[in-house]
Amino acid sequence: MKWLPVKILLFIGLYQSVFAADTVKVNRPATAAQLNQWRTDARKALFIPSPAPAVKPRIFSSFSPMPGVVVQHVTYGTQYGMRVPAVVYAPTNPKGKAPAVILVAGHGGDKATWYEVYAGMLYAKAGAVVVTYDPIGENERACTHQHEAREHDIALPGAQSPARMGGLMIGDVLQAVSYAISRPDVDPKRIAVLGYSMGSFHAALASALDPRIRALVLSGGGDLDGNGGAWDSSTKIMCQGGPYQALSFLPDKGAILYALHQSNGTTLILNGLEDGLITKPNHLDPFFSDLRARVAAIAGPKAPLLDYRFYPGVAHRPSWVNTDAFTWLHTQFHFLNGDALLAGGTTHIAEWAAETGAHINKGYEVEEREGGIRAVGTGFPALASDQLQVVPTAEWEAHRDQYIWATWAKQTLQVQGLPVVLPVQGGTTH
């Protein structure tokens, strides 16, 4: 199947040759009708269905990992008749309706990745309902049922396949929002999405397409650029490059996507000055300053400005849990226990991982990356893999087609009229 990546690359090259022109700036505020039309067109380009699939949540089990926090093992519906396994963190004794926080993992991450677990407990302790889930092709949504499986990178034939993959991954963020809002303990007017690295891309696009999302925090990314730029050129064709190219009909797509969110929400972007994913395309202060001005021109004078910050000596890392991110979200949502957590000290993540046995991916445990994060809160445990498995093994084996990447891939090929033969992955044909 060596020809598959070549066909995808030819598809990408065609898009780049057509859309490599300079960004066409939009210099006046967009009307509500124009914003809605851009949203509608973007959803269609990414094959995100309307109406959305029913979430129909199912709770398998629950436990308390620490005082004040309960963990629930939940699945809910998404596109293609599939279900999403999610670990949900909630306050043990909520007082009134709580804000909801949706976490979107980076490339190779899932609901069992350390930063999802820590952030889940942190924001639940603060008083929020936190939804963490497996992206398609990872953990319980991988054919191999493994962490860091990255099956969403597998190239499929078909001109629509990359956009459909991106549409599923972005749509899964929207389904997490729908699930959260379906809960009686959640305030539908206080919904935040936090995205890291690849997750920053999916979170930013989801927030553009869903006005229910009121606050957005991005780390290790957020530098949405124009046609022919770094995101169009991503080597992650299926989950990033192809989906972003599908939106190249937008005249200033990076600014328009943020303006769609800023028209009814707020954004904080946190990046390190040593992060090659930001510095190599030279997406530093001048880039973000110009982006903020273009977003403001489209969103109008009443919309809040993009808030972005850079950290010297810091490389690629998820800064959702640091004091800046927590304080910013606390200001937006007024967490019940936010002040107490801010006054209670911080945790050095490298030391926490050494003490608790929490796993940080090799190369990311260093000080300038994830190991150096000073996270809000103290005394959080690490959770074992079996505590973070949502669907019991026998149930998963009996209904694996509801969860795995291969189900999406087969339907995607079928709908395009292509042979339903999947590429070899890990020595087996799916």
Query: pLDDT of 37-46, one tens digit each?
Result: 999 999 999 9
Cβ distance 267 to 216 under 8 Å?
yes
Residue 181 lies in a domain: yes
Taking residues 83-96, report their average pLDDT: 94
Residue 344 lies in a domain: no
Average pLDDT, the chain: 92
Does residue 10 surpass a pLDDT of 80? no
Residue 150 lies in a domain: yes
Residue 86 lies in a domain: yes
Residue 302 lies in a domain: yes
* pLDDT at position 93: 86
Does residue 2 surpass a pLDDT of 90? no
The 10s digit of each residue's pLDDT in 358-389 is 999 999 999 999 999 999 999 999 999 999 99
Taking residues 72-96, report their average pLDDT: 96
Domains: count for the chain: 1
Give the integer Cα–Cα distance in Å for 410 and 348.
Answer: 44
Tokens standing for 404? 């795995």
Dihedral pair phi/psi, residue 218, rounded to 5°: -120, 140
Strand order across the 266-272 sheet: 58-66, 69-77, 83-91, 129-133, 98-104, 186-196, 215-219, 266-272, 307-311
Residue 264 lies in a domain: yes
* pLDDT at position 1: 29
Give the integer Cα–Cα distance in Å for 382 and 339.
Answer: 24
Residue 216 lies in a domain: yes
Task: Assign residue 182 the CATH number of its domain.
Answer: 3.40.50.1820
Strand partners, 131: 88, 102
* pLDDT at position 27: 73
Where helices occur in 127-209 by DSSP H, the ranges are: 161-182, 198-209
Q: How confident is the model at residue 150 (pLDDT cuts 50, 70, 90)?
A: confident
The 10s digit of each residue's pLDDT in 223-236 is 999 999 999 999 99
Residue 54 lies in a domain: yes
Better-scored residue on pLDDT, 259 or 18: 259
The 10s digit of each residue's pLDDT in 45-74 is 999 999 999 999 999 999 999 999 999 999
The domain of 35 spans 3-335+380-420
* pLDDT at position 25: 72
Does residue 7 surpass a pLDDT of 60? no
* pLDDT at position 15: 36
